Chain A
Amino acid sequence: MSPDDRVERAVADAFRRDRGRLVATMIRVTGDWDLAEECVQEAYTLALSAWRRDGVPDSPRAWLTTAARNRAVDRIRREATGTRLRALLALPQPDDEIDLDTLASGIADDRLRLIFTCCHPALAFESQVALALRTLCGLTTAEIARAFLVSEPTMAKRLVRVKHKIAVAGIPYRVPPAHLLAERTDAVLGVIYLLFNEGYAATAGPDLIRHEPCDAAVRLAALVDEVMPAHPEAAGLHALLLLLYARSPARVDATGALVPLEEQDRSRWNRPMIDTGLSVLHRAVAQERVGPYQLQALIAGCHATSPRPADTDWPRIVRLYDRLVALAPTPTVRLNRAIAVAMATGPQTGLDLLDELTDDLAGHHLLPAARADLLLRLGRRAEAREHYRQALAGTDNASERAHLTRRLAECEGR
């Protein structure tokens, strides 16, 4: 690797790892969302040339914090607003003696503040998610627009409006007091979950998994779990994301095609992450207040602990899905339950259950894909082929398309 490549890698790593924290810190000290994002962006641009010249610093995050701060100081000096300037100047310099633990926890608090601000009940749910994706994960407006199936200018306008609303309505930038925490935590958990999903099964584009949103979601879930140890669903979500993310090294093959769960090479799953996930899960269920995230984590835990697909305890998974359907009867949950039932008792029962979902999941590619898989298990190749074709017509993700195309070829061969 050439020195320039190394610098580019270091900047890219620092971007993935630290951007959310930096933006959160800059929002706290400047109180200005747009300024915060711009200064952080400029700091990364500066890093590219400065690190090529001077080498990668020992603490990239401290370097970037200072660079972003200096940009903000310049800008604010021109506007001459004293309070904001004083807050900025109080940020530590890398030359100062920095207590890294204090700094780290301070930054953690900033990200929490940021997500609780994004999840303020005065903002619409879609705005909450969009803002969190933008500020905490650094997703571009175009990427967020695609996730919400709207045009880029529409999403740009929505983001401007929501930042404006935060400013004029005086929405506080802080973690709410204890008595308001519980009601807001639901929204926060929902946003983190969606964030993860956006990365774990990218809506469009070439890759099935995008690591930035997933990494950010896992870290945020850990953070919320840490601050709210008595909230079993916070722990449940934390466990769920760890257990799902641990599978990601085996979820795509060398060509980038999706590999379904039962065909995955389980030795490539991230075992330490699974172990952490399971211990978090135990702590959650010990509180005996089981909610949807814990149930999903328990299901993911069943898969994670089965040495081979054939060892999977499908009857237990069906029982967990039964409880999940009772709490959250969404079409996706019912679809997954149907597949679990098929695995436990045979493809035909699964097909019958899928028929009940035709209206709710009309136009969604997961329904024909699931139906095709079950038909193929029954040896009804011609019908399976038809449903794989329908599924293919319904997804834009290249990795999923590659998987479905392969299955279609399997139906046509032999």
Chain B
Amino acid sequence: MRYLLLIGADEEQAEQAMAEGRFAGFSAWLDDLERRGVLRAHEGLRPSPSARTVRVRGDAVVVTDGPFIEGREQIGGFALVECRDLDEAIEIAAGHPAAAIGRVEIRPVVG
């Protein structure tokens, strides 16, 4: 099954954790996924101030700055994995360093 992992953490906290070297486990995490051959896509995202949100209301296309969710719930990156079942996806998500300070949301992909 395919699962999208939405990786998120408070941006300030994440920056601080990065500065303190608490993200050191990240490359080990990626290496492990490569070894398992489950990784279909993985990208990090630029911080939330770079986001633009588009809404169409009637004929008007409205573009606003920033994301529409709370600052504490920013998506910092995502990964698409193809693995056996939810347990493996949970195990992978739990291994991401961001899970220790923020959270990783697991969404099964349709089909």
Residues of chain B contacted by A169 (CB below 8 angstroms): 86, 108
Residues of chain B contacted by A180 (CB below 8 angstroms): 87
Residues of chain B contacted by A172 (CB below 8 angstroms): 84-87
Q: Does B98 contact A (CB under 8 A)?
A: no
Render B1-45 as a binary contact track against A, CB cut-off 8 A, 1 for contact.
Answer: 101000000000000000000000000000000000000000000
Report Cα–Cα, A172/B3, bound state, in Å. 14
> Is A168 within 8 A of B108, CB to CB?
yes
Report Cα–Cα, A171/B3, bound state, in Å. 12
Most buried by A among B1, B3, B84, B108: B108
Report Cα–Cα, A169/B86, bound state, in Å. 6
Residues of chain B contacted by A120 (CB below 8 angstroms): 86
Report Cα–Cα, A169/B84, bound state, in Å. 11
CB distance from B83 to the nearest CB of A (A): 9
Residues of chain B contacted by A176 (CB below 8 angstroms): 87
Of all chain A residues, the one with the shortest Cβ separation from B89 is: A170
Of all chain B residues, the one with the shortest Cβ separation from A176 is: B87
Report Cα–Cα, A408/B3, bound state, in Å. 62
Report Cα–Cα, A172/B87, bound state, in Å. 7
Which residues B51-100 have CB closer than 8 A to chain A? 84-87, 89-90
Residues of chain A contacted by B108 (CB below 8 angstroms): 168-170
Render A90-125 as a binary contact track against B, CB cut-off 8 A, 1 for contact.
Answer: 000000000000000000000000000000101000
CB distance from A96 to the nearest CB of B (A): 31
Report Cα–Cα, A124/B40, bound state, in Å. 30
Number of A-B pairs whose CB atoms are under 8 Å? 21
Report Cα–Cα, A180/B86, bound state, in Å. 13
CB distance from A71 to the nearest CB of B (A): 27
Report Cα–Cα, A169/B89, bound state, in Å. 10
Q: Chain B contact residues: over half helix, strand or loop, or mixed?
A: mixed
CB distance from B94 to the nearest CB of A (A): 11
Residues of chain A contacted by B84 (CB below 8 angstroms): 172
Report Cα–Cα, A170/B87, bound state, in Å. 8
Q: Chain A contact residues: over half helix, strand or loop, or mixed?
A: loop
Report Cα–Cα, A8/B63, bound state, in Å. 70
Of all chain B residues, the one with the shortest Cβ separation from A166 is: B86
Report Cα–Cα, A206/B86, bound state, in Å. 42
Render A285-313 as a binary contact track against B, CB cut-off 8 A, 1 for contact.
Answer: 00000000000000000000000000000
Which residues A152-178 have CB closer than 8 A to chain B? 168-172, 176
Of all chain B residues, the one with the shortest Cβ separation from A121 is: B90
Which residues A166-205 have CB closer than 8 A to chain B? 168-172, 176, 180
Of all chain A residues, the one with the shortest Cβ separation from B85 is: A172
Residues of chain B contacted by A170 (CB below 8 angstroms): 1, 3, 85-86, 89, 108
Most buried by A among B84, B87, B108: B87
Residues of chain B contacted by A122 (CB below 8 angstroms): 86, 90
Report Cα–Cα, A122/B105, bound state, in Å. 12
Report Cα–Cα, A120/B84, bound state, in Å. 16
CB distance from B58 to the nearest CB of A (A): 35
Render A361-374 as a binary contact track against B, CB cut-off 8 A, 1 for contact.
Answer: 00000000000000
CB distance from A354 to the nearest CB of B (A): 44
Of all chain A residues, the one with the shortest Cβ separation from B87 is: A172
Report Cα–Cα, A168/B3, bound state, in Å. 11
Which residues A117-148 have CB closer than 8 A to chain B? 120, 122
Residues of chain A contacted by B3 (CB below 8 angstroms): 170
CB distance from B81 to the nearest CB of A (A): 12
Report Cα–Cα, A171/B81, bound state, in Å. 16
Report Cα–Cα, A168/B106, bound state, in Å. 12
Of all chain A residues, the one with the shortest Cβ separation from B3 is: A170
Which residues A48-83 have CB closer than 8 A to chain B? none
Of all chain A residues, the one with the shortest Cβ separation from B107 is: A169
Most buried by A among B3, B84, B86, B90: B86
CB distance from A298 to the nearest CB of B (A): 35
Residues of chain B contacted by A171 (CB below 8 angstroms): 85-87
Residues of chain A contacted by B89 (CB below 8 angstroms): 170
Most buried by B among A120, A170, A180: A170
Report Cα–Cα, A171/B108, bound state, in Å. 10
CB distance from B86 to the nearest CB of A (A): 5
Report Cα–Cα, A168/B108, bound state, in Å. 7
Of all chain B residues, the one with the shortest Cβ separation from A177 is: B87
CB distance from A60 to the nearest CB of B (A): 34
Report Cα–Cα, A237/B27, bound state, in Å. 44
Instruction: Please give 13 more A-B residue pairs, beta carbons under 8 A apart, in addition to A120-B86, A172-B85.
Output: A122-B86, A122-B90, A168-B108, A169-B86, A169-B108, A170-B3, A170-B85, A170-B86, A170-B89, A171-B85, A171-B87, A172-B86, A172-B87
6 sample A-B contacts, Cβ–Cβ < 8 Å, listed by A number: A122-B90, A169-B86, A169-B108, A170-B89, A170-B108, A172-B84
Which 8 residue pairs are nearest across A and B when measured between Cβ atoms?
A: A172-B85, A170-B1, A170-B85, A170-B86, A171-B86, A169-B86, A169-B108, A168-B108
